[in-house]
Amino acid sequence: MPRNHPDRPLFDLVTDPDRPEGDAGSTLLLVRRFDTPFLLTAALSAGAGSSELTLDRGKSGKGRIAEFRRLSGRAVLVLRDKHRLATGGPAAVRAGADSFARSVIWSAPVLREDADGALVDPTGLALTDLHGIADLLRERGQGDYAVDPDASYPLPAAAGPRGVRLPALLTLRGPGTGPALRRVTPAPAALSLVQHVHLVPLPDPPLPARPYHPASGGYGIGHDDHGDRVADGVRVMYQPRFRLEPAEPGAVSGPVRTPLVFLVDPAVPEPWRSAVVAGGNWWREAFEAAGFPDAYRVEVAAVDTDLDDPALNTVWWVHRDGRGWSHGQALTDPRTGEILHGRVRLGSQRVEQVTALAEALLAPYGHPDETARLAAVRETVLARMRLLAAHEIGHALGFMHNFASTGHPRPSVMDYPHPHITVGPDGTPDLSRAYPAGLGPWDHFLVAHAYGRFADESGELTAAAEEAGLARLRREATERGLLCLADEDARGPGAAHADAAVWVPHLPDPFEALDQALAVRRAAQAGFSRGAVPPGRQTGELERRAALLHLYHRHHLAAVARLVGGVRYAYAHAGDALPDTVTGTSPVPPEDQWRALRATVALLDPAHLVPDPAVLAVLTPPGIRYERSPEHFDTRAGRVFDPLSAVESAAALVAEALLEPARLNRLAWQHAADLRQPGVGDVLAALFTASWHPDDGPDDGPDDGPHDGPDAASDTAQEAVSDREPLVRETAGWVVVRQVMAAVRDGGPHPPVREELKAALRTLAHRLAAEPGAADRNQARAARRRETAHTLTAFLAGPAAAHLDPLPRVPPGAPL
């Protein structure tokens, strides 16, 4: 049996003398200790290149707790549930471990065994789909795939200070019919990627864990402790953080033993590479302020750097098919939350996306001041890349999103920023302040709370001093108004907080932000020309730039709409001392909700729904060998641009925001308690009035508060829709009706809310059926409305069985 060697690496690699030299399969794995937990993960070094599939170059897989066991002459790889651990005495640990299932995922015969350890052939482990590629392909609708052993091969393995790495070329075979795979794979039935299986020893000794607090801005690492502490509640949460220890033992601050370094992929081309380094180094200021000078830096990796080495923290440059997200990941010790390895993926497509938006706004090519406008485009992209690097590295440092920083003195880099663009004195969009530079006060708080060290009056580092110091930091942040709101509060159907808006500029007033966005949209559309696309590109690209402008206000609209049925609250522990203003959950005041409803519904005015004549005048279909992408509007007008599809998409922004089932449920509850609040019926009445019966005028709700909506569109835009206004309104009306129908069929609304939706549809049907028509044009419109009434009546007779046209597809607007 192998002896216990606590002073030697847990794993090592040995060349098999019985195999040809240089053969990738000639490497054997030396296991020095059995029954010893370690981290098992699988990363990709060669990906699929699809934004939809997210199988990126540089992507890390999930970290798992594993251990090798010696059974019947074999080394058996066993996974333990990292979300259910046990601490305490030996009996408590054993009971906790034996209470939950384990998973044996691989085994191999022990080939030789001596005092140094046991040798096994790791080829089968290297060829196992530990990243979960097949599962992801199945979940994304690409079909059933499995590893083909005849077309999969181990690659040269490596050992280092962070354990052993087993790379392999994995070929997965499947039907080859998935649309995403067909776009990026030469032979879609055979997808070949390079996976690296990492066997990473757990730190010994472990880093002292820092308890997680929901107001800390960290993303939290947790598990259930089914050991001796069950009476205290089994859930344990830790603050994720790197090990950052001062060079002088016991010091609160000062130089550190091992600086925290992120290496940037040399594949990032200039000038974007310098922007990534500069933005990533913004965090140096926060570490210095927390007492750690020269503890953190970002620099460019040497050309021959092995970015797959888990001992390095890396920033990868990733190419994909279409619009996609960048990511910051961390491999953590589940026992303590210590971050062992940070890995960032920056999507190169972001450069093209921001460039396209800036060019659409300025139409620089061929303009008299082309040089200045192109310089503004370039600087906007560079500023965005600096901010993007800081954001994603922030995730790898242990920090989560904060979508409430629009109310901070300076925005956080952990927010999602929309470019802050205004209309200049010359009437053109001004991009000079598009993106902020540097950290905000929340970012300084993040570093201080995660990495700061705290001593008592005698200078000793104690748990009590740490607890008091962290509580003081949180209290000061609350007093400064540094609210923190994360993904669940800002994105998705459950998001309800009024201040957790994503992709909005740093303006605390959402109404001001919406007005500003609409003004920029008008100015950019009025100045739109073929100069929005570089002269060497085909004119069909103008459609995509036009879509960016037509939906430019989408996120600002969403920030206003979320006030309707919105609430406010803050993260805390039950024992925290908080001001009354941030305890519990409070609805947005009635005057703000009514103002938001008016402002949102006003965007159903045809002048806001139809692209400016300057835009429509220059659009052409894609050239031969080119095609529309998901970034374009759909068309039901054959090859040419379909203005009614643009109308539908713009109307859908309003309808989807106001008629989301969870929002309707909140509205019903708030209105039942306070009749001054808008109710479900008020929202439906406002939508139906704006789209089907504009002459009725809006129901303004209470008499208190501003009654203004967004400014009207330009005179030219209003003139362009005057003759088409009935058609445009009915098109928008159908978008609203379909959204209401979908809500009726959805399982989300409570039964009383669903019945109110049906009653509103019934009332609309009666009114449309009764409308007279005198002139020829009015007769045609009245006939269409009677048919609409018949359709609504048929739907209400049997909603579950009725056919519903799909809701309009809105081209993607994120990431920016």
Task: Tell me the domains of the chain and their CATH numbers.
Answer: 11-203 (no CATH), 260-479 (3.40.390.10), 503-575+590-797 (no CATH)
Give residue 18's pLDDT.
73
C-alpha to C-alpha distance for 652 and 660, rounded to whole angstroms: 12
Q: Can you tell me the mean pLDDT for 672-678?
A: 98
Segment 480-498 shows an average pLDDT of 91
Q: What is the DSSP string of 163-199?
A: EEEEEEEEEEE-----HHHHHH-SSTTEEEEEEEEEE
Write phi, then psi, for 288 (nearest 5 degrees).
-65, -40
Average pLDDT of the segment spanning 452-465:
95
- Helices first, then strands: H and E counts in the chain: 24, 26
Tallying the residues shown for the chain, one arrives at: 816
Judged against a pLDDT cut of 60, whether residue 3 lies above it is answered with no
- Which residues fall within 8 angstroms of residue 519, CB to CB, at 6 or more apart? 422, 423, 711
Tell me the pLDDT band of 813, cut-offs 50, 70 and 90. very high
Per-residue pLDDT at 516:
98
Supply the pLDDT for residue 282.
Answer: 98
Residues 6+ apart with CB under 8 A from 530: 365, 366, 539, 542, 618
**pLDDT mean over 163-175:** 97
> What's the pLDDT band for 230 if we cut at 50, 70, 90?
confident
Structure tokens at 562: 């979320």
Cα–Cα distance for residue pair 542/622, rounded to 1 Å: 9
pLDDT band at 466; cut points 50, 70, 90: very high
Q: Which pLDDT does position 449 carry in this prediction?
A: 98
Is the omega angle on the peptide bond into residue 752 within 30 degrees of 0, that is, cis?
Answer: no
Residue 94 CA to residue 670 CA, distance in Å, equals 50
Phi, psi of 342 (to 5 degrees): -110, 135
What dihedral angle (degrees, nearest 10) is formed by the CA atoms of 261, 328, 500, 51?
150
Calpha distance 331→598 (Å, rounded): 47
Q: Are strands 221-225 and 241-242 parallel, antiparallel or unpaired?
A: unpaired
Q: What is the mean pLDDT of residues 456-483?
A: 95
Sign of the torsion formed by the C-alpha atoms of 231, 233, 235 and 240: negative
**What is the reported pTM?**
0.95
* E-assigned strand segments in 373-526: 422-423, 429-430
Instruction: Count other Cβ atoms within 10 Å, centred on residue 259.
Output: 13
Q: Which pLDDT band, with edges at 50, 70 and 90, does 493 fall under? A: confident
- Confidence class of residue 53 from pLDDT cuts 50, 70 and 90? very high
Say what the pLDDT of residue 715 is: 62
The pLDDT of residue 4 is above 60: no
pLDDT of residue 699: 64
Instruction: Taking residues 45-73, report their average pLDDT.
Output: 95
Q: Is pLDDT at 253 greater than 90 in this prediction?
A: yes
pLDDT band at 717 (very low <50, low <70, confident <90, very high): low
Q: How is residue 33 written in tokens?
A: 């200790």
| Extended beta strands in 202-354, E state | 221-225, 235-238, 241-242, 260-264, 296-300, 313-318, 327-332, 338-347
- 191 band by pLDDT with thresholds 50, 70 and 90: very high
Helix (H, G, I), strand (E, B) or coil at 42: strand
What pLDDT is stored for residue 783 in this prediction?
87
**What phi and psi values does residue 75 have, to the nearest 5 degrees?**
-95, 120
Q: What is the mean pLDDT of residues 456-462?
A: 93
What value does the mean pLDDT of the chain take? 93
Distances in whole angstroms, Cα of residue 202 to Cα of each of 102, 168, 207: 19, 24, 10
583 has pLDDT over 90: no
Q: Averaged over 13-42, what is the pLDDT?
A: 86
pLDDT exceeds cutoff 80 at 34: yes
Q: Once rounded to an integer, what is the mean pLDDT over residues 164-192?
A: 97
The encoded tokens of residue 164 equal: 């052993």
- Does residue 553 contact residue 561 with C-beta atoms inside 8 Å? no
**777 pLDDT exceeds 70?**
no
At 645, phi and psi to the nearest 5? -65, -35
Task: Kindly state the average pLDDT of the residues 104-117.
Answer: 94
Helices (H), 502-602: 510-526, 542-550, 554-561, 590-601
Please give the helix or strand (H or E) that residue 85 lies within, else none: strand 84-85
HEC assignment per residue over 593-606: HHHHHHHHHHHHCH
What is the pLDDT, as a whole number, of residue 5? 57
Q: How far apart are CA 594 and CA 299, in angstroms?
A: 51
Q: pLDDT value at position 771?
A: 77
DSSP 622: P
In this prediction, residues 547-573 reach a mean pLDDT of 96
Confidence tier at 801 by pLDDT (50, 70, 90): confident
Confidence band of 758 (pLDDT split at 50, 70, 90): very high
Mean pLDDT over residues 640-663, rounded? Answer: 97
Higher pLDDT, 301 or 162: 301
pLDDT digits (tens, 9 = 90+) for 368-400: 999 999 999 999 999 999 999 999 999 999 999
Sequential DSSP letters for 726-778: HHHHHHHHHHHHHHHHHHHHSS-S-HHHHHHHHHHHHHHHHHHHT----SHHH
CA distance 700 to 707: 7
Task: Give the DSSP H or E segment for 720.
Answer: helix 715-721
Angle at 62 between CA 60 and CA 67, to 5 degrees: 120
